Structure 1
Amino acid sequence: MQGCVRANHRTRSILYSYHLLFRSIPSSPSEMKVLYFAAVRDITQVECDVIDVSTFTHAGAPRTLTMLTDHLVSKYGDKLRSIVDHAMYAVNMEYVDKDDEATTQLSPNDEVAIIPPVSGG
């Protein structure tokens, strides 16, 4: 996948754990899973959503991370925007470069994780 960056071992383990935990959530062929971490989860009040991709696209238009973000902000409010503007995304367990979010295309059955910046050691 173009524009992906490597996750460190610990972050990759966390993503994989969530992937295993939420893979049993049923989804239709037109849906994707969005996993929320830390402050994003605090705002959404859920650990994940199953979203029909037709809710944030027009017929024939490519689905991008930016479009998904706009959809989620309209659903959860502007407080989410302030966090996701600085968050990292992983699509199917591969990080996406910040510069590539507007061009990273999404497909039904993708798994998107939103990981806000964290501090600490």
Structure 2
Amino acid sequence: MPLLNVLLFARARELAEASSTTLTLPDDPPASVADARAELLTRFPQLSGVLQTSIFALNKTYVKRDDERVAIVRAGDELAVVPPISGG
């Protein structure tokens, strides 16, 4: 089972009260970024709203929302949750 390191930024970090977490996902069939999103929602239901608008970066490469089901995660990968950020 892949152990995935998940980094949480901005509002996701605030709501989860953590800057990172780890997820253990099944490897048969191989887990995807979409599976990681679902597991994050299970573990941190308070992230529901922010995860709807967040994008993910798998090993520092952004994953398009349409590609989340085909982007496979492997043991040791790093997944970053990047909520929309505004500034001024």
**Higher alpha-carbon deviation: 108-117 or 94-103:** 94-103
Separation in 2, partners of 1:70, 1:96:
15
What is the RMSD computed on CA atoms of the aligned residues?
1.6
> How high is the sequence identity, in percent, across the aligned residues?
26
> How big is the shift at 1:74?
0.8
**Pairing 1:61–2:29 present:** yes
What residue number does 2:19 align with? 47
What residue number does 2:56 align with? 89
What residue number does 1:101 align with? 68
Aligned partners of 2:23 and 2:39 also within 8 Å = no
Deviations 1:31-69 (A, max 9, x none): 12100000100111111012223xxx3x52120111111
Q: Which has the higher contact order (CA 8 A, sep 6+)?
A: 2
Separation in 2, partners of 1:52, 1:92:
17
Alignment of 1:2-81 (within 5 A): 30-53=2-25, 57=26, 60-77=28-45, 79-81=46-48
TM-score by length of 1: 0.66
**Larger radius of gyration between Structure 1 and Structure 2:** 1
User: SS at the partner of 1:118?
Assistant: coil
What residue number does 2:77 align with? 110
Structure 1 segments, 4+ long, off by >3 Å, are: none
> How big is the shift at 1:85?
1.4
From the two aligned structures, give the one with the greater helix fraction: 1
User: SS at the partner of 1:114?
Assistant: strand
TM-score by length of 2: 0.89
